[in-house]
Amino acid sequence: MGCQVGYFPFIYLGMPIGAKMISVKDWSPVIDKFNNKLSGWKTRSMENIVLAGIEMENLQVHIKDYFVKTVGNGSNTLFWKEHWIGNEKLCNLFPRLYKLESNPDVSVQDRMAANNEELYTWNWKREISGRVLSELMNLEQLLSAASLVSNLPDKVLWSLDINGGFHINRLSKEIDDQLLSEFGSQQETIRCKLVPKKVKIFVWRAAKKKLPVRVELDNRGIDLNSIRCPLCDDSLESVDHALIFCKHARDVWERIFKWWNIGSFKFFSSSELLLEDSQASFCL
């Protein structure tokens, strides 16, 4: 029949056929393939996480502020460089002492491990005296409120959840609460499920001056023949002009206001139109 004679074991769809898969080393090629696939997936996932973090930082949402370090035995918490007590990292609260620390990466457990004579185990580059001594007294007073639990590990908790667990919906709500607070009375409009998503996105972009009008495109380095309004040619096409001052846009608004019988159109900026309370405010 012209078929080629083969031998066992052979590879079919990436799996060894006919081999005695009874030891770990027999499965090593399969495991290696899975690990290679997973490593690529993890890399892409980490890249996406980093990009998401950068975007949130640009929006002034500092996600790291929502993670709180709780100290158990103190073995996995840096004494100076991590925020575990007080309102700030100890290296920032006590900078003079930090400069005199022999081991900047020392753990909480190593510095607060009690011995027979001292409450704390210090290791300074030189003897503490002068103004630094008062700083040490303040540090020890702060540490007096802390205690280690030898049988509990250190943990990182998510402060937005009562149980300390991370939930993406909690983060989403926190971002909405922070960023939508600037929308004033129209905040509920942005949240309203009855408003089409494309309208919400448009309102959001307009309030952030992120609509692709010619002035904004020029600011982003996009080369255009002109940045004047292509409809009226009376002014530069900014967000305010496109939504408010262009005679064609203003004519549309006047007709809508007349149709709804809500008075005359008296707005002078897109932010005033979208965000501010007024007698003529309406649901977008």
What is the pLDDT, as a whole number, of residue 149? 86
89-105 pLDDT, tens digit per residue, is 999 999 999 999 999 99
What is the structure's pLDDT at 39? 64
Above 60 in pLDDT, residue 279? no
Say if residue 216's pLDDT is above 80. yes
Task: Give me the mean pLDDT over the 102-118 stretch.
Answer: 76
Average pLDDT over residues 169-189: 65
- Decide if pLDDT at 55 tops 70: no
Q: Say yes or no to pLDDT of 278 above 60.
A: no
Which among 186-200, 202-216, 232-246 has the top mean pLDDT?
232-246
Q: How do the domains of the chain map onto residue ranges? A: 10-58, 68-155, 182-275
φ and ψ of 4, to 5 deg: -80, 135
- Residue 169's identity, in one-letter code, is N
Report the distance separating Cα 230 and Cα 234, nearest Å. Answer: 9
How confident is the model at residue 97, as a pLDDT? 93
Q: Model confidence at 228, in pLDDT bands (50, 70, 90)?
A: very high
The 3-class SS string of 74-142 reads CCCCECCCCCCCCCCCHHHHCHHHHHHECCCCCEHHHHHCCCCCCCCCCCECCCCCCHHHHHHHHHHHH
* pLDDT higher than 50, residue 280: no
Mean pLDDT, the chain, rounded, equals 79
> Of 184 and 229, which is predicted with more confidence?
229
Q: What's the rounded Cα separation, in Å, for the pair 72 and 109?
A: 9
Establish how many alpha carbons lie within 13 A of residue 222's alpha carbon, considering only the half-sphere containing its beta carbon. 11
The pLDDT tens digits for 3-43 are 777 777 777 776 777 667 677 777 777 777 777 776 666 55
- pLDDT above 90 as % of the chain: 23
Q: Can you give the pLDDT at residue 21? A: 67
CB 80 within 8 A of CB 98: yes
In order, the DSSP letters of 242-262 are IIIISHHHHHHHHHHHHHHT-
